[in-house]
Amino acid sequence: MSANGTTSVAGGSVRTAGTANPGGSVRTAGTPDGGQGVRTDAAPDGDQGVHADHASASDRAPAAGIRRVGVVGGGQMGAGIAEVCARAGLDTVVCEVDAVAARAARERVAASLDRAVRRGRLAPAAAADALARMVFTGRLDDLADRQLVVEAVVENPAAKTEVFAALDKIVEDPDAVLATNTSSLPVMRLGMATGRADRVVGLHFFNPVPVLPLVEVVTSLHTSAATTAAVEEFATRTLGKTVIRSQDRAGFVVNALLIPYLLAAVRMAESGFATAADIDTGMELGCAHPMGPLRLADLIGLDTVASIAESLYDEFREALYAPPPLLLRMVEAGLLGRKTGRGFHTYDQA
């Protein structure tokens, strides 16, 4: 359930536009600057994460004891992934487009940490420490020394493939893991854009990442058992998440079940059978759902819901996965839900 912006890779930088949270997080490898600024000029630490003498066998342990994490894309999902990594004590680098985007990203993470403090979920000192572990950058090259890089860009196969092809050349440690936060796209396709398909895996977080405890680990036909074990240990022991496994099929476990439900609610509203408010109230009070389907679609982002639906329909060709015309028209109109202030409901953007 990602909500990310359009992203392309050019000259070692990540370009994003139209993000759910414009400007996403960006950070450089190198020494954290205490969270006080944006670093775009730090060179990768050449003596970290490079192991030229490793065997090439696919069952070698990848990136044992992951402590240096990179996140590509700093929108709603990328910022959340970076935050939970920093809160877990990890050296976290977030890569985005430029210094302006980096400042916006830092503000996004800082605001999330502040909310956690206000709600009594995080001590002020812990929030400050987490922010101090984060450095923001606009250069993919600054991810060279990472042991794990999580891609969290727009749910678009071309954009994600471009990122993986670039990371394969940049990330120096042959045992490093390249993970994708895709909601629905084939992990295999991304792995085959690299020379290390055995080290590519799906690591699908849920929004809001600091709050929701689930992570889906998605393995392709090439993903090694050692890679799977490493990311499961990372997600459970380091981040404190609960892991479920899925094979590499569109939608994985959660979205393969969730998206048809959301689309059914859209079709009900589209037909005039019931209002959006009544549909949501019915599921909240009649089925004890914490949020109705159309409010949930607004939270995810209607563009993201449509993208996942299209991926599911492309793979399975079943009518229940086809995005309804109303959903497609709302996306065309820029009515994307909470991030734009209007979707099936209206939201205060202040």
Q: Is 216 a known active-site residue?
A: yes
Would you tell me the crossing angle of helices 254-271 and 325-332 to the nearest 10 degrees?
A: 90
Catalytic residue chosen out of the listed positions 13, 220, 246, 255: 255
Structure tokens at 316: 């399975």
Catalytic residue chosen out of the listed positions 2, 151, 204, 224: 204
- Alpha-carbon distance of 105 to 343, in angstroms, equals 24
Q: Is 204 a known active-site residue?
A: yes
Q: Please, which residues have CB within 8 angstroms of residue 217's CB and are 6 or more apart in sequence?
A: 201, 202, 203, 204, 228, 231, 232, 235, 243, 244, 245, 246
Catalytic residue chosen out of the listed positions 183, 224, 307, 311: 183
Spell out where the chain has E strands: 6-10, 13-17, 68-72, 91-95, 134-137, 148-151, 177-180, 200-205, 214-219, 242-247
Cross-strand pairs, 91: 68
Structure tokens at 90: 């990890």
Q: Are 236 and 243 in contact (CB under 8 A)?
A: yes
- Alpha-carbon distance of 265 to 62, in angstroms, equals 43
CA distances (Å), origin 246, targets 43, 61, 186: 37, 21, 12
Cross-strand pairs, 266: none
Catalytic residue chosen out of the listed positions 216, 246, 307, 311: 216
Residues serving a catalytic function are 183, 204, 216, 255
